[in-house]
Amino acid sequence: MKLLTHNMLTSKCMKAVTVGYPLAINASDVRVSEVDFNPDFIAKIIPKVDWAVLWNAAESIGQLEGLPKEIVENYENDQDFLKKAHHVLLEVDVINGELICPETGRKFPINNGIPNLLLNEDEV
């Protein structure tokens, strides 16, 4: 699971949860793989990303690699910043571990890079 996906995921589908964001990551296996750099897409997706959540998630799995804590001004033209954002958003992959709902503490296992978000019948 990429951190871009994690940045969008919530657990609000559960019955008792109102916001369910952000999910905490408890990673046991993290892999970094190379993905083609597409500056247009990164510049387009940054306004949608919750930057503080991304930064905390990257820090919690030790993949910060110099990512600034705030979005820099005029980031569309800052190649260096876009490359760092690209690395954290798309190249870092959580292979095994779990996601934890901030409200109920429900754990969603991540196996082989696929988060299992299936809910039991009493949770819907």
Partner 1 sequence: MSRPEHLAPPEIFYNENEARKYTQNSRIMDIQMQMSERAVELLLLPEDEPCFLLDIGCGSGLSGSVLEDQGHFWVGMDISTAMLDIALEREVEGDVLLTDMGQGCPFRAGTFDGAISISALQWLCNADKTTHKPVQRLYKFFSSLYACLSRSARAVFQFYPENSEQMELVTAQAMKAGFYGGVVVDYPNSTKAKKFFLVLMTGGNVPLPKGLGSAEETQGVSYISKREQIKKARGKPLKKSRDWILEKKERRRRQMKDVRADSKYTGRKRSGRF
Q: Applying CB under 8 A, which residues contact partner 1?
A: 1-2, 4-5, 7-13, 20-21, 35, 38, 40-41, 44-45, 48, 50, 112-119, 121, 124
Q: What is the C-alpha separation between 105 and 58, in angstroms, rounded?
A: 20
Minimum distance from CB of 123 to partner 1 (Å)?
A: 9
Q: Is 99 helix (H, G, I), strand (E, B) or coil?
A: strand
Q: Give the residue with the Cβ less far from partner 1, 62 or 109.
A: 109
Q: Give the residue with the Cβ less far from partner 1, 66 or 105.
A: 105
- The alpha carbon of residue 89 and the mean position of all alpha carbons in its chain are separated, in whole angstroms, by 7
Q: How far apart are the first and last CA of the chain?
A: 24
Minimum distance from CB of 121 to partner 1 (Å)?
A: 5
Extract the tokens encoding 31. Answer: 């892999």
